[in-house]
Amino acid sequence: TGRHTPVCQSIFEDRVLEIIQFLIDFILHIDKHLEAFVVAYGPWVYALLFIIVFVETGVVVMPFLPGDSLMFIVGALCGAGYMSYPLAVVVLLAAAILGDQSNYTIGRYLGPKVFQWEDSRWFNRKAFDQAHNFYERYGGVTIILARFMPFIRTFAPFVAGVAHMSRAKFSLFNVVGAVLWVVGISAAGYFFGNMEWVKNNLEKIIWGLILVPGLIAIFGAWRAGKAEKARTA
């Protein structure tokens, strides 16, 4: 049995690598993958959208899923007549709100012991600390701002739960943030996503949707952490 272990491990690593490569390709060419899915499976695309957004916002170990670019592409596909915009918005709103609510509940259940967790394959300690610094600086508004920040948006509701923010207060920020995020980005895709220039530069736009908010989040978290150190010095 021992002789087969390296072979099994190699097969497992190959499968993991294939999944990672597929996810990278899916994120960078989400327009083509999503359009193909709509053509092949029709209304089942709404179930796929719900799952992706719910998992990204509700599962703290899945912060890499393509929320912003997904919203934009969905809006563009709706504008091109592939999907119903009102239905897509309702599905995305439900997924975003329920996902954050689930994440908050998990954080509230686990409590402060989370601060003792080390960085691992399943837990991004740096992103967690950034979200915590944001929360310390901006309080409940973090839940709204974080919607537009990859990685941090996954950890923000989790941190709010760990900090035991009141459920009513969190729910209010959650709904407001979800509406601004879903409607704002999908509407941009709906009105501008089918312009020729946008189509020709879509991959760059997707990279921008991933990198720009991420850099802003890192800078904001760095400033928040610096301010916290100055207060405690």
Residue 43 has pLDDT above 80, yes or no: yes
pLDDT digits (tens, 9 = 90+) for 52-109: 899 888 876 655 666 788 899 999 999 999 999 999 999 999 999 999 999 999 888 8
- For the chain, the domains span 32-232
Does pLDDT of 45 surpass 80?
yes
Mean pLDDT of 149-177: 87
* Interval 166-189 mean pLDDT: 94
Confidence class for position 1, pLDDT limits 50, 70, 90: very low
What does the block give as tokens for 219?
């800078």
Lowest mean pLDDT among 48-62, 130-144, 217-231: 217-231
CB 98 within 8 A of CB 58: yes
Burial 76-88 (b: 16+ CB within 10 A, else e): bbbbeebbebeeb
> Picking from 54-63, 140-149, 170-179, which range would have the lowest pLDDT averaged per residue?
54-63
Each residue's pLDDT tens digit, 2-18? 555 666 666 666 676 77
Residue 106 contacts by C-beta under 8 Å, 6 or more apart in sequence? 60, 158, 161
